[in-house]
Amino acid sequence: HRRFDYRPKTDPYCQARYTFCPTGSAIPVMKEEDVIEVYRLQAPVWEFKYGDLLGHLKIMHDAVGFRSSLTGKNYTMEWYELFQLGNCTFPHLRPGMDAPFWCNQGAACFYEGIDDAHWKENGTLVLVTTISGAMFNEMAQWVKYDNETGIYYETWTVQASPDNQSIVWFDSYECSKFILRTYQKLADLGAVFKKIQTNYTSIILFSGEPIYLGNETSIFGPLGNKTLAAAIRDFYNPFKPHQTVREFFVDLLKIIDRVILNHQFYLFYNLEYWFLPMKFPYLKIIYEEVPLPVGSKASFGV
């Protein structure tokens, strides 16, 4: 996933259904000698828990919690879409504009408190490691860098096949990937993680080798490829970016239908368009184990 120099200003056209990070606050500076517990937080995306079709899918949201021993305060940190999931996955086809218009950014949100009931009753709230205040402060600096340079949300992982050793053409960039990067950063700083099973949700497309098509200017600009531009617009036409999570999954079914019938998918990734020659089993939502990291340097505990 490409890093960018800065986060672009959001276009006023992009309106969120729910405010992004409404109670967010700056990450505090901890006393270096503080001992901070780190919690793994995971819960189902409840909105479609009881949907007929979607009830059995393990679609989870991930976050990380912290508790300061010196102050007794709790904090939650997570990463999610500025304009909700549909906007990160599907573009708007705006009248008078040739190119699909994307409202796609993701970012970290940090706020005081851990909603124990939400994570415990519906999912997971478990201690994974303990760190010093100094390590927490170093992590906070890294979060700032990660947030300013990793700006686009990416829903899809694209692989050559369902095999474990399969080539990954494109990696997703969403809430769980941020949590995994955070854990890895803490491990690199010396955190030692408990040996517990940790699973994450991925939405995977299966494709032959992707074909690079170009960027917005080269496809939709004055010297662009009109036929290709029309094909891309046509592909995105049935999908609605402004939608609830339930509607998003209804659109997901439309995608599966089109992809299976036509064996094709147009992917927008790091501001570039790619053609995916789709192949069986086309799309899978999986909930699989990703182990907690092992640090890159010896640790003597905190």
Q: What is the pLDDT of residues 269-283, one digit of tens each?
A: 999 999 999 999 988
The whole-angstrom separation of Cα 122 and Cα 115 is: 11
Which of 61, 88, 103, 109 is an active site residue? 61
* pLDDT for residue 300: 45
Q: pTM score > 0.85 for this model?
A: yes
- Which among 88, 103, 175, 242 is annotated as catalytic? 175
- Domain residue ranges of the chain, discontinuous segments joined by +: 35-155+171-199
pLDDT for 46 equals 60
**What is the Cα–Cα distance from 297 to 12, expressed in whole angstroms?**
45
For the question of residue 21 being annotated catalytic, the response is no
For 133-164, write each residue's pLDDT tens digit. 999 999 999 999 999 999 999 999 999 999 98
Cα torsion for 229, 236, 146, 13, to the nearest 10°?
Answer: 90
According to the model, what pLDDT value does residue 78 have? 96
Active site residue 1: no
Q: Measure CA 167 to chain center.
A: 20
Express the helix, strand and coil content of the chain in percent, nearest 5 each.
Answer: 25, 30, 45
Q: How buried is residue 175: exposed, middle or buried, by Cβ count under 10 Å (0-12/13-18/19+)?
A: buried
Computed on alpha carbons and rounded to an integer, the radius of gyration of the chain in Å comes to 20
pLDDT of residue 57: 64
Low-confidence ranges of the chain (pLDDT < 50): 49-55, 298-302
